[in-house]
Amino acid sequence: MLNRVPDLDSLQLLLNVAETGSLGRAAQRHGLSQPAVSARVQTMERLVGFPLVSRSTRGSTLTPAGALLAEWGRGVLAAAEFLEAGIGSLRSEGARRMRVAASLTVAEHLLPGWLVQLAATHPGTAVSLTATNSAQVAASVLAGTADVGFIEGPDLPRGLQEQVVARDRLVLIVPPGHPWARRRSMVEAADLAATRLVQREPTSGTRTFLERALAGHAPLATPLLEFSTSTAVRSAVAAGAGPAVLSDLAVRDDVSTGRLVQVAVRGVDLRRRLRAVWPVGTRLAPAAADLLSVGQRKGPA
């Protein structure tokens, strides 16, 4: 089982190569010799069955397949960090526990910073975080398996009360070779609605918000591909699959490095509210209330 999956340390090493552009600098960062790093990369390549690193006199870069594996590995490493933090929380005797469920945009790009800030004021509170789509977040809060949730979708299920904690906007992204990447004019909302996009799954907040925003312009085209994470959507777009619409928070780094191109859209407002939710008739615990306050202070506004 999982006989082609590199271990966590090897995935971190691959990310170090991508970030430094050099096997030697990656070796220094990882605390290994350069020959040891080369050997680890070769072992990974034999394991997965395709080249990961392209070497030249100017340095080392990841192959397209290696870059895709590194992007997926980044999510695996983030999940491992959450797992390690959760295990540590469970081993802390007498620690107060707060269960948080959050949509992926909030969980991946906002909550880590908020929780660091919260730890300064509530050091005895252990937080367990579940990252999923907005529909599942709401279901978890209603079922009592989460004390507070964070959603990005436009709907508020019955039985929940809400508080806006931040705002973001959706943006249109394409691979650098796409015709829209070179156009001087904005993409019209009707053209966007009629285009087959790489999409999140139907119950995601991002997908639902986009469908509502474009509903008045044209019948929405059938998705080109569907994925359950923003990371997979970004990777598919970068590989040339086609356009997608995701949170600016999720694509900002890829756009700044040129891996993806952001294209302006005219005729539709893609700004949205990110909201905390909890059951009607209940009061938030002090730590949860403070977490909402941290989110409102730190944004994005």
Judgement on whether residues 213 and 252 belong to the same structural domain of the protein: yes
Q: Which CATH number do you get for residue 278? A: 3.40.190.10
Judgement on whether residues 258 and 277 belong to the same structural domain of the protein: no
Judgement on whether residues 259 and 291 belong to the same structural domain of the protein: no
Whether 240 is covered by a domain: the verdict is yes
Whether 267 is covered by a domain: the verdict is yes
Q: Which CATH number do you get for residue 191? A: 3.40.190.290
Judgement on whether residues 130 and 204 belong to the same structural domain of the protein: no
Judgement on whether residues 160 and 19 belong to the same structural domain of the protein: no
Rounded CA-CA distance 6/43 in Å is 9
Whether 213 is covered by a domain: the verdict is yes
**Domains held by the chain: number:** 3
pLDDT for 285 equals: 82
Judgement on whether residues 174 and 238 belong to the same structural domain of the protein: yes
Classify strands 148-151 and 96-103 as parallel, antiparallel or unpaired: parallel
Contacts of 208 (CB under 8 A, 6+ apart): 134, 153, 154, 155, 202
- Judge whether 210 and 170 are in contact, CB under 8 Å: yes
Judgement on whether residues 243 and 286 belong to the same structural domain of the protein: no
CA distances in angstroms from 294 to 32, 74, 120, 246, listed in the order given: 39, 26, 11, 24
Judgement on whether residues 173 and 264 belong to the same structural domain of the protein: yes
Whether 79 is covered by a domain: the verdict is no
Whether 250 is covered by a domain: the verdict is yes
pLDDT for 119 equals: 85
Judgement on whether residues 110 and 244 belong to the same structural domain of the protein: no
Judgement on whether residues 153 and 294 belong to the same structural domain of the protein: yes
Per-residue pLDDT 10s for the chain (301 aa) are 567 888 888 888 888 888 888 888 888 887 888 888 888 889 888 888 889 888 877 778 888 888 898 888 888 888 888 888 767 655 554 347 789 999 999 999 999 999 988 888 878 788 889 999 999 999 999 999 999 999 998 888 899 999 999 999 999 999 999 999 998 899 999 999 999 999 999 989 999 999 999 998 877 899 999 999 999 999 999 999 999 999 999 999 999 999 999 999 999 999 999 999 999 999 888 888 889 988 888 755 4
Whether 85 is covered by a domain: the verdict is no
Rounded CA-CA distance 233/226 in Å is 8
Whether 86 is covered by a domain: the verdict is no
Judgement on whether residues 31 and 175 belong to the same structural domain of the protein: no
Nearest to 124 by CA among 301, 285, 300: 285
Whether 82 is covered by a domain: the verdict is no
Residue 57 tokens, joined: 């006199």
Domain span at 15: 8-73
Judgement on whether residues 152 and 286 belong to the same structural domain of the protein: yes
Q: Which CATH number do you get for residue 16? A: 1.10.10.10
